[in-house]
Amino acid sequence: MQKGFNSDVNYKGCTYHVQTEDWGQQNPFIVSRIFRNGAVVMTLKKSYSEIPEIAAKQTEMVIKQALRRQHGDMVDRLISGRLQLGF
């Protein structure tokens, strides 16, 4: 299991916390959540099988790269306004 990533992002006057974690081989998902004031406003959960590079080769390096990419994508989508946040 890889350690996750956490970022605080200011968007339109609000602070959001973006958290991405690997649930490990026994529960093979990479999960990203966006929080606002402690409440989850969006979740993205991807199975290893949905991520081509992990499906092809489940090494620590490949999983860590996919984890970093999903986290960065969530932050980018948040600050660009491309997310439908549930609040």
In tens, the pLDDT along 1-50 reads: 668 999 999 998 999 999 999 999 899 999 999 999 999 999 999 999 99
Tokens representing 85 are 């946040």
The closest of 39, 3, 7, 40 to 23, measured between CA atoms, is: 3
Tokens standing for residue 33: 């959540």
pTM of the model: 0.89
Predicted confidence at residue 84, as pLDDT, reads: 72
Alpha-carbon distance of 87 to 21, in angstroms, equals: 22
Query: Residue 1's pLDDT is what?
Result: 62
Domain boundaries, the chain: 5-80
Give the whole-angstrom CA distance, residue 37 versus residue 49.
Answer: 32
